[in-house]
Chain A
Amino acid sequence: MFFLEHIWIIPLLPMLGATVMFFFGRKLDDEHDKTWVNSICVGLVVVAFAWACMAVWQFVHSGQPFFEKVMYTWLGSDSGKLLFPMQGGHLAEFKVNVGFLLDPLSSVWLLFVTGVGMLIHIYSTGYMKHDGGYYRFFGYMNLFMFSMLTLILANNYVMMFVGWEGVGLCSYLLIGFYFHKHSASTAANKAFIVNRIGDAGVLLGTFMIFWVVGTSNFTSVTEFARTNAAHLMGNPYITAATLLLFLGACGKSAQLPLYVWLPDAMEGPTPVSALIHAATMVTAGVYMVCRSNALFQLAPDSMMVVAVVGAMTALFAALIGLVQNDIKRVLAYSTVSQLGYMFLALGVGAFAAGVFHVLTHAFFKALLFLGSGSVIHAMSGEQDMRWMGKLGKKIPVTFGTMLIGTLAIAGIPPFAGFFSKDEILWQTWSSHAGAFRVLWGIGYLTAILTAFYMFRLVFLTFYGESRMSHEVEHHVHESPKSMTIPLVILAICAVFSGFLGVPSALGGSDRIGRFLEPVFAMHETVSAEAIPAAGAEALAPAQQEQKPEGESHGSEYLLMFLSVGAAGLGWYVAKRSYSKAGKDYPEPINVAAPPVYRTLLNKFYVDELYDYLFTGRRKLGGVRLGAQGLGDALWEFDANVIDGGVNGAGWFTKFTGTVSNWWDKWIIDGIGVNGPAIVARVLSYPVRLVQWGLVQWYALVMVFGLIGLTWYYLAPIHALRIFLLGK
């Protein structure tokens, strides 16, 4: 059990590669000799794949329902003192482990993530050979593998969130790999921020689970949900938790209304599109919903939302994909659409069918993306299908493998997509006692559209007349072995992986369904009678399977026949329109209804709408709305009102100071103190006239006084003398 015991090494292997590239990549990367980078980065992923195979093999033979290994306590003090109150007032310890869980569900993901990841790493050694930043690219790719493996091997929601955000980061780094291009860095930001909206949902959903269950360990949560299923059915808190988790899934797996980042993510190098934005990362949402299936099954309303959102997304994206001209964008919308199928399956309770489609999709979509990369490589970087054509004979391996991928995705038997897609449509048709047949209709319509846009891609690229310039035509060449070998391997998988899930109606044994049964089997522990009426609906698919076989096979055959018909119809229309496309070929939709064509070509103007309403990158009639508009308004508010208040308080203090100063100077000091002084001064003025300190004046006055006085005293004497003497 060595490999199983040390399962934690699997994510650490690519992490080691990323670390080495971080510190020494620049020195190891040589313009001509890529041996070091290749052997470290690709080598470690190969080892991880081998390790994963061994671990799964040991796990399957151990006979255990799951294997769990806890490494250490990550969050929390582990002392039993850090408590939080959960539902009902009980106290639970706040604790999150770093732990790993391997069960059938994570086994499936583990194998195809490491397997497809390994092939894409090998492919990239050829594709990225002439790009600058070779070591940077592989460092990011290894970091992505680490995050993705953490995501799928985590044993609790918070650890899964580590991987969840980690893949988001790597997606950001790799979309923005050509960071000189403004469109690339904008697309990278968009991917990260839109994903963050979903991540906020995951966070809150995780808290809700903490609150209800007291822990976020998958096994505990599942056990809790199953043992208490009877009285938890339709519980509003579980419904809220599942809806919040699903919001996260909508972000990561590009569902309505958060799908907008995925088509723009095609700015990244093509192997990135194949690995992250088609095969692995975008299926993380599906994985999480599957992982939480015990909770989702307790929330019929959430299941309904999942199914409806899935079906709507499938149709919506397929419609946009009909008219796109960029080869990678067609595939991007196709991915969104196929992810919609997967959620449709989960929503109707057919979890195994959803996982099966994830698996087959991983092969054929990685194949198609790598194939498109090979085409772009051959076309010297041209991605627009309007300038391609007649490449089939020049790049035969690419053509052959891409044709296989197309047949697979279009659902033509016996290619892989046929079995998985058909299983989803069949489960939708038969679930909820037929209540979801509208969703089946949407799924069926989408199947026709899928076949059309995929064959349109093939015809425009490989058939018809050559529409490229002579210079480009001159350089067209088949890709090197490092690129074509992964294509061939993936093509083989795209042919045969469908046989893992051949339904019993066709004499198969649905191996994958059986393998996954322990993960999704809820009805074993809960008897149907114990579940109130609200829950009966959710269990319908499970009961459906238990019907007598002969009864349902008739309609199952009919549906299969219809599906093949849908694929054939899509192929036929595409062939008629595009198989002989010359220069300025007409688009049938444009011919039929130009406004519809424009709307589709502009992706229903959703990006524009979001820019007006949410980001604020565009002004609506001179007014900026959204986050930027709000930020501007608040900034004005901050500067004028809040800081204005502070400055106002300062100004007021100064003002009162000035007033006080004036009052003090003119009233208190002026009237109160100086006033009496002035009065005294005025009153004393006459006195001052004689008291002005000039000694000569005093002497003069004295003299005059003396004279006066003398006269005064002498005058009477004089008068007396006159009186007496009589002159």
Chain B
Amino acid sequence: MFYNHILSIILFTPLVGALVLLFTPKENKNAIRWLANIFAMAGFAVSLPLIPWFWAVKSQPGFKFIEGAPKNWIPTIGAGYYLGIDGISFLLIMLTTLLGAISILSSWTAIENRVKEYYIWFLILQTGMLGVFMSLDFFLFFVFWEAMLVPMYLLIGIWGGPRKLYAAIKFFLYTLFGSVFMLIGILFLYFFNHAQTGVYTFSIPALYKTAPLIPSVYGPTAGVILFLGFFLGFAIKVPMFPFHTWLPDAHVEAPTAGSVILAGVLLKMGTYGLIRFSLPFFPAIVQYPRLRAWMIGLSIVGIIYGALVSLVQKDMKKLVAYSSVSHLGFCTLGIFALNGPGLSGSVLQQINHGISTGALFLIVGILYERRHTREISEYGGISTVMPIYATITLIMFLSSMGLPLLNGFVGEFTILQGAFMANKYWAAWAVPGVILAAAYLLWLYQRVFFGKVENPKNEKLKDLSAREIATFVPLLALALWIGVYPKPFFQILDEPVNEIVQTIQTNGVYNAEAEPSVPAAPAIAAPDEQKPDATVAPEKVTAPKSGEFKPSTAAVKIADNQGSH
């Protein structure tokens, strides 16, 4: 029972907590805090058994722990309550439950007004995020994807800083704007699947089979447009340059815990979407050199640009927010490297970013709670008054800038290795981001922690309390674990990453040497493969051995026919 419904249990524990809080009197703030923490911890605790269970089945292909079935929810349209995970979603789910518990713990003293609503929304948010990572049904996915916007909007809009309304509306509308295009894409896939198989379903595994056929039926341009629709939805969420400007505003205005979740989990939905949907749905399109060059180009610009803008920020939180743009640039770079190390590194770096940047936002939040300012120039010499805090900060900074034996390095190195193998110049252009990361973080550290205490307000700052240390301990432990012994993580990612790479390789020319600006010469299909049947049978088309983004010669034929009209 527990084993078979583990995903639902993980998914709904926070929601149950929200319901319980709903019936708690709002005057009793401490009771609410305790209850919220208990349910957040319980949410994390119920996800723990998943670790050994998942470990045992990690090398089985496909999705695991499947629950529900396609089309069982709204049979008339083919939507289902259909859950399942693979290694990628497993890691992100664990990250979500952990960061959820940590952020709720970190809010204890930070939130003083409307406490009850705060925790209720937070727990609902938690369920929404978990749902995104578990859904195997596109309808369900979209419901969670949109539903999670509301609590985040309220968290920023109610408990945020001075410009909270502007930031909250911007966050909401911007993300919604991207989702609309994704929705059109989902509907296209849905009807396309029906056209191919005669079945109306939102089941993602089913769509995996038909979606790659789109370019062969409607031509590559349609495929590219569809890809861009999904891409826009995900790129805004990541956020990739130039869709990133909602991020600094949302981060700066959000309460600390909101920032932690925003950076730690919400952004990962974008990269998760790219890996889960964009690559397997459009395995031939993503290899189209010019398109890929744009994706890579935006990633690299994001890396350098985010780092340079971080360098000159005067507000600590904004600095960390822009550093996220830089770090997520590495993640998308790894994704579009389209090879094993790139993808594995990317997922690992998403986890690492959740750990390190989550911790950085906690760090900023701790100073903010004490001094109510995030201006860097207000500080100096903090390591004298808060030595434990200074030590933890330094370790997290080092992890964020990718020092070996801490987590950041493992992800960055693997991504850069993958990128280098795809194209040497991509790695070469991304590497300055590593240098700049050291520059903006160490400079920040120097200005805040080193020197003498010159501002009298800083003289009596209290060092971390036991509760605050407790929020950092799991993050520090994970940072060290991933840094020293990341092999289990690679093993968990082995199977899903391999499946994606296989999908990509069998759906087009896998040309590692493809230069970004020059389209790779389309390989000429062997004559015996040129079967002139225009009625496309899915099995035949999903596994062609050649053709640039023309998985079948049928595609060319159809395109020609359309052209001749």
A interface list, Cβ under 8 A from B = 72-79, 81-86, 89, 94, 158, 161-162, 165-166, 169, 172, 176, 179-180, 182, 185-186, 188-189, 192-193, 196-197, 199-200, 203-204, 207-208, 210-211, 627-628, 630-632, 634-635, 638, 642-643, 645-646, 650
Contact = CB atoms under 8 A, between A and B. Distances in A.
A89 to B, nearest CB: 7
A631 B309 contact: yes
Nearest to A22: B391
B116 to A, nearest CB: 32
Interface stretch (B120-128, B417-425, B466-474): B417-425
A78 B417 CA distance: 16
A169 B485 CA distance: 20
Given A204-B431, A631-B311, 10 more contacts: A77-B494, A84-B340, A84-B418, A165-B403, A165-B409, A166-B404, A196-B439, A628-B312, A631-B308, A635-B309
Contacts of A75: 410, 413-414, 486-487, 490
A179 B390 CA distance: 12
A196 B404 CA distance: 13
B428 A77 contact: no
4 smallest beta-carbon distances between A and B, as pairs: A77-B490, A631-B312, A207-B420, A185-B450
A169 B491 contact: no
Nearest to A73: B487
A207 B339 CA distance: 15
A77 B493 contact: yes
A166 B242 contact: no
Q: How large is the interface on B (under 10, 10 to 19, 20 to 34, 35 or more residues)?
A: 35 or more
A169 B403 contact: yes
Interface in B420-446: 420-421, 424, 427-428, 431-432, 434-436, 438-439, 442-443, 446
A686 B344 CA distance: 85
Given A75-B414, A179-B451, A192-B442, A162 B405 contact: yes
A200 B490 contact: no
A248 B59 CA distance: 39
Interface string B26-57: 00000000000000000000000000000000
B549 to A, nearest CB: 19
Contacts of A86: 421
B interface majority secondary structure: helix
A193 B417 contact: no
A627 B381 contact: no
B498 interface: yes
Contact of B170 (A77, A199, A631, A646): A646
B65 interface: no
B487 A74 contact: yes
Nearest to A163: B404
A478 B102 CA distance: 56
A430 B246 CA distance: 65
B174 interface: yes
B321 to A, nearest CB: 11
B490 A646 contact: no
Given A627-B311, A642-B242, A650 B173 contact: yes
B451 A165 contact: no
Contacts of B381: 180
A627 B513 CA distance: 32
Interface in B6-26: none
Nearest to B318: A635
A642 B170 CA distance: 14
Contact of A207 (B427, B452, B498): B427
Contact of B341 (A84, A182, A193, A638): A84
A630 B410 CA distance: 29
Given A165-B403, A207-B427, A631-B308, A638 B245 contact: yes
B490 A193 contact: no
Contact of B485 (A72, A172, A192, A638): A72
A627 B436 contact: yes
Given A166-B404, A169-B403, A203 B311 contact: no
B383 interface: yes
Given A75-B414, A203-B413, A176 B485 contact: no
